Structure 1
Amino acid sequence: MPNISLRNTTYRHLTDEQLDNAANKLVQYFTDDKLLIIYRISKGKNYDTENQLELPLTALPWLKDTIINGFWRQPSAGGLPKDQHSVSATFSGEEILLGRSMNADDYAKPGFKIVNKSRTSHIMASRPQQFQITDERVEQVLLPILAQFN
């Protein structure tokens, strides 16, 4: 997929991730000089659902470190306490929340819920932008993307 231009900004396409064999669920990753954009499309029988999460690039090192050294590391090795299921921090004036999920985008698949509490959803303006991702997809897709920004 080529880069796209919207509202006088060019977004560089990073990768696509197909979530099912029928090609009904797709996640695309884009970036510009300020944001990482995670864009999800779920094709339905009558209509498609689209959603996106926008993260300041300044949050990406924290996101990577918190996943690897916080949630995935045992408390005895310096990881987060066993009973801590979410953390938040502010980057470029935007509050980002990272939480563990036991049904991350798929039933009984552990992973993470990433929320930008400072930006409203483009689907439902009463909710913040959010995205769920399984541990497997974090390892295969998200961490390699985050590594590009270190």
Structure 2
Amino acid sequence: MTNSYFSPLITIENPDKTPENIKLVARLNDSLNYEDETYSFFTQENYLSIVHHWIATPKNKPSFLTTDQFDAPLEILPWFVDKLEFFRKPSSQGGLPPQKIATDKELVGGENIILGRLMNAGNARQEGGYDICNLDRGDHNEMSSSYARIKFSDSLLFEGGLLDVWKELASKYKNGSL
């Protein structure tokens, strides 16, 4: 079975050298978990591209830049801030229902998005985190047939400044200054 996705956005192969029509709007180093890993936020017209990038250094081979890219409509900026607040509320106060670890898919800027809780966000401490999935966009990795997704550890989100960056971008989006 082949998944049918929207046309891909431009793949950002080098976050320091992007085409003119792609604008860097924020960059955050994950110094709490991996000093050499960075998340760069770009706009591509009415879309947000988040590129997670780092230098891979294989044993006995030359180092190289590796990237993961997540794309979604810009409306995801305020949606994520609001949805994270909903996600973290107790169900008794109108939050996520008991026994659920992900939201239902929601149409955000015309694309189906899910926010999920992760038991292991992939850092060395194997701490929890969150995962955003865009069911209408394919992964930029040519070897993958999966949908686009990006994950963040709790420490990066709440202690490392990612939520602050996200809130600032959401505010700029809402007031038209992004």
- TM-score tier (shorter): 0.7 to 0.9
Q: More strand per residue: 1 or 2?
A: 1
The reply to whether residue 148 of structure 1 matches residue 169 of structure 2 is yes
Indicate the residue corresponding to 1:74 in structure 2: 90
- Count residues in correspondence: 147
Q: Structure 1 residues 3 and 89, CA, compared in 2 at 3 Å: closer, same or farther?
A: same
Paired position in structure 2 for 1:45: 57
Matches within 5 A, 1:1-150: 5-6=18-19, 9-19=21-31, 23-46=35-58, 47-68=64-85, 70-87=86-103, 88-106=105-123, 107-123=125-141, 124-139=143-158, 140-150=161-171
- The question of whether the paired residues in 2 share the 8 Å contact of 1:4 and 1:10 is answered with no
Deviation of 1:78 after TM superposition, in Å, equals 1.6
* 8 A contact 2:79–2:108 mirrored in 1: no
**Is this contact kept in 2: 1:114–1:130, CA < 8 A?**
yes
Inter-partner Cα distance in structure 2 for 1:20 and 1:48 = 20
Runs of 4+ aligned residues of structure 1 deviating over 4 Å after TM superposition are 2-5, 19-22
Work out which structure has the larger RCO, using CA pairs closer than 8 Å and 6 or more positions apart in sequence: 2
**1:76 counterpart letter in structure 2:** S
Structure 1: state its 5+ residue gaps. Answer: none
1:71-110 deviation digits (Å, cap 9, x = unpaired): 2111112211121111121122211111000101224311
**Cα distance in 2, alignment partners of residues 65 and 21 from structure 1:** 26
Higher alpha-carbon deviation: 15-24 or 118-127: 15-24
SS at match of 2:28: strand
Corresponding residue SS for 2:170: coil
Q: Alpha carbons of 1:3 and 1:145: their partners in 2 closer, same or farther (altered >3 Å)?
A: farther
Q: Which runs of 5+ in 2 are unaligned?
A: 1-14, 59-63, 172-178
| Aligned residues: CA RMSD | 2.5
How far off its partner does 1:16 sit? 2.6
Larger Rg: 2
Structure-2 change in CA distance of 1:31 and 1:104 (3 Å)? same
How high is the TM-score relative to the length of structure 2? 0.70
Contact 1:55 1:116 (C-alpha < 8 Å) held by counterparts: yes
